[in-house]
Structure 1
Amino acid sequence: SIASEMALLAYDQKPSESVKEQLLEMAWASVHARGGSANVHYLSRYRISAAAAVLFLVSSLGLFFFNQNLETDLETQKELVVQKENTIRILETEVEQKSELLAILEARDVDLILMDGLEVNPNGFGKVVWDKENGQALLQVANMPAVPTAKEYQLWFVINNQPFSAGVFAVNDPERDNFFKIQELNQSASQGAFAITLEPEGGSPQPTGDMYMLGAM
């Protein structure tokens, strides 16, 4: 039959060597093409991951330095606020002291005692504004050295060579006039003197240190 004849014809005709070589080359080309495509795909994913990691690192460093700058700015602002608060407290104290001075000056009967610097402090100057009726006074001193550690100035009211303590104070800024309120000066003497000595911190029962100022009534 025709089918059997065609089968016999196909069986007798073998493919040539050139056809086999072409088929093998096509197969290897297909394999290499697939392998190359996979490598390209893998390389692309690696580059994307590396780029993402670098971007994350840069962003993290940026946030770190931003936070550091922000914390520094906050600390600077806090220091400025503290400085302003200290300045306000100083001004409030000065206003209060001057208001007290005005109140004492407005008293009906006040004594003004001027004090001069002595040998250890020749440029010193001071004054006592004394309201005897209310038993209070205001001390103003200028050109007084800042007190050493563990020391304070002590004001004395001297009557008949007998010193009475009128309080202790410390000068922190020698360039400024310093005001100190004396709340307990219940002396009615019409004669006497005021003196300032340098004493141990807290004051002494009797004068023991150098005398810096003296002023008689």
Structure 2
Amino acid sequence: MDIKEYISSGIIEAYVLNLASEEEVSVLMCISKHNSEVQQAILEAQETLEDFATVQAMSPPAELKSIIWDEISDQTNHPVAPIKKAEELIPQSPLPSSVRKFSALNWSIAASILLALSIGANIYFQNKITTNQNLLEQSVSKQESTQKALMSLEEKWAMLQDPAIKTITLAGVEQHPKLKAHVFWNTSTRDVYLSLENLPPAPEGMQYQLWAIVDGKPVNAGVFPLDHTDQITSMNQIPKAQAFAITLETKGGNPTPNLSQLYVMGNT
């Protein structure tokens, strides 16, 4: 997990503002126990919120205190007068200008806090949406790759079941002992199909080329497409051959094989 990316995701702000889910809080607490960066980020977020509340804090205006004490004094000096209701202790209309300013400022502070909460929540949920989209794209890509692999296996299985098709395994030569490829050769139609199996991708400007060894001489059986290395590919028709081999040639293929770049070979 990239800790810096996790910290910038907005989850800590959501936690401090009490917007995170129980599962997210549990994960955050677990990570913070073992990571000082996350612990520090939580403390800084909490301090930022506390500083904001402290800066915006304001004492009630002095006029409001005087009004209440005047009412209390009046009740003390005139005990026989009817006792006023609580709501009558503060003048109903109009309030002093300082009181009105105090009320307006309270609304401004509340609006600022709501705005901060909204921004934090928007950042958090936007990051979650982006993460989910990335996961979905990865899942689709993986599914497509799996589907291609399955189709390739089905195609190989069908060829193995065809009695007219001969399967030739091309084993790695001394320089490449672990490499392997398969040639599926239809001796009736002369069609040739090639599967590279575990051969690595061809380097830039290079391409794999299949050769049929006919009466001791190499015959070009075609180049393997650069963008289909994980699939079975139809090659040139070959009427007869004693062996097949694969070399790495310049892009587009060559009329004669570069034997120093011989990768795999197999007899029919």
TM-score, normalization: structure 2?
Answer: 0.56
Retained in 1: the 8 A contact 2:168–2:184? yes
Larger proportion of strand: 1
Shift of 1:76: 1.0
Q: Output the TM-score relative to the length of structure 1.
A: 0.68
Structure whose CA Rg is larger: 1
More displaced stretch, 82-91 vs 149-158: 149-158
1:50 and 1:155 map into 2 onto residues whose CA distance is: 82
2:116 maps to which residue? 61
User: What residue number does 1:195 align with?
Assistant: 245
1:162 Cα deviation from its structure 2 partner:
2.9
How large is the Cα RMSD of the aligned pairs?
3.0
1:216 aligns with 2:267: yes
Q: 1:145 aligned to 2:200?
A: yes
More relative contact order in 1 or in 2 (CA 8 Å, sep 6+)?
A: 1
Tell whether 2:85 aligns with 1:85.
no
The 2-side partners of 1:77 and 1:42 are apart by 52
> Cα gap change, 1:214/1:184 in structure 2, threshold over 3 Å: closer, same or farther?
closer
**For the structure 1 residues 206 and 199, does the alpha-carbon distance in structure 2 shift closer, same or farther, using more than 3 Å as the test?**
same
- State the 1:171 CA deviation: 9.4
Give the conservation status (yes or no) of the 8 Å contact 1:198–1:212.
yes
Instruction: Say whether the 8 Å CA contact 1:194–1:215 is kept in structure 2.
Output: yes
Q: Quote how far apart the aligned CAs of 1:158 are.
A: 2.7
Could you tell me the percent identity over the aligned residues? 20
Look up the match of 1:44: 99
Shift of the alpha carbon at 1:169? 4.5
Structure 1 pair 93–188 and aligned structure 2 pair: CA distance change class (3 A)? same
Structure 2, unmatched stretches of 5+, are 1-69, 71-90
The offset of 1:212, in angstroms, is 0.7
Q: What is the CA–CA distance in structure 2 between the aligned matches of 1:152 and 1:163, rounded to whole Å?
A: 17
Q: Is the 8 A contact 2:194 2:233 kept in 1?
A: yes
Distance 1:50 1:150, change over 3 A: farther
Partner of 2:129: 74
Contact 1:153–1:196 at 8 Å: present in 2 too? Answer: yes
1:163 is the counterpart of 2:219: yes
- Separation (CA, whole Å) in 1 of partners of 2:100 and 2:178: 85
Q: C-alpha separation between the residues in 1 aligned to 2:237 and 2:175? A: 30
**1:44-64 per-position Cα deviation (integer Å, ceiling 9, x unaligned):** 111112111111111112111
On the 8 A contact 2:164/2:187 being kept in 1, the answer is yes
Aligned to 1:180, the other structure's residue is in SS state: coil
User: 1:167·1:182 contact (CA, 8 Å) conserved in 2?
Assistant: no
Equivalent pairs counted in the alignment come to 176
Q: Residue 144 of structure 1 aligns to a residue in which SS?
A: coil
In structure 1, what residue type is equivalent to 2:203? P
